[in-house]
Amino acid sequence: MATVTLFRLDASIRAEGSASREIADIVEQEWLAAHPGETVERRHIGVEVLPADAWGHAVSAGYVQAEDRTAEQTAALKLATTLTDELVSADAVLLAVPLYNWGVSQHVKVWFDLIMTDPRVRAPEPLLRGKPVVLATVRGGGYAPGMPKHGWDHSTPYLRRMLGDLWGADLTVVERELTLAEVNPAMEPLRPLAAQLHAEALDAALAVGRAFGIVPVGETPRAAG
C-alpha cells in the first residue's frame, strides 16, 4: 500500500500556548486518525528560524556559474531545494501562520521567497496543483467587517494569493480572531465574542481536519533538478 505524507509548517514564535498551533493540532490529529501510522514531516520556522539573508544569496546565485558561487550562495540554493522538496513531496500540507504586526512576518516571507527561487515554481504546472492545503491563521484583534482593524490584515490575502492562486493548492482556511482578548484589559468587553469565535474555530478545525483526512495518494512529486 502506498504511503501518504503530511507536511506541517508552524510559524508561531511562541514555544507554548500558540493559538495557531492549537488549530493545526486538531487538523493534524484528524488527518492521522484517517492515516494511522503515516508520516508527518515538520518544520517550525518560528522557533528554528531560516537565515534572513538566504534569499538574497539564492537569488544572486542564479546569475553565477555553479563553480563560481560563494559558499553562502551554494548553501542558500541547497536550503531552497530542501524547502521546496518538503512541500512538493507531501500528499497534504498544513500551515499554522499567525498574523504579526498586520502583515506577513519576516520569517514566513523568507520561507516563501526561498521557495520562489526554486526552478520548479516556473514550471508550466503550478507547484501545488490540486494538493490539499489547510491554512490555520489567527489574529489577536478584530479584523472582520465592523471591527476596529477591518482591512488591516495584510497577511491572509497574501497567503491565499500565494498558496491558492499562484501555487494552485486546493486551499482551505481556518481562522480565529480576538486571541488576545483574555490577556488584554482593553479588550475585556470583547471576551464573550472571543470565546464564541474560539469555539467556532475549534469546531471548524475538527470538521476541516476530518475532510482533510480524505487525501488520495498523488502522482509522483517532481524531483529537484
Binding-site residue set for FMN: 12, 18-20
- DSSP state, residue 185: G
CB atoms within 10 A of CB 27: 29
Continuous segment of H or E residues that includes residue 192: helix 191-212
CB 42 within 8 A of CB 128: no
Nearest Cα neighbor of 31 from 7, 58, 64 is 7
Measured distance CA(133)–CA(106) in Å, rounded: 22
Cell of residue 56, nine digits:
538574497
Burial of 56 (C-beta count, 10 Å sphere; 0-12/13-18/19+): middle
Q: What is the dihedral of CA 48, 175, 207, 24, to 10 degrees?
A: 10
Task: Give the residue ranges of the annotated binding site.
Answer: 12, 18-20
As a whole number of angstroms, the distance between CA 60 and CA 76 comes to 10
Looking from the CA of 179 toward its CB, the CA atoms found within 13 Å total 19
Backbone angles phi, psi at 221, to 5 degrees: -65, 155
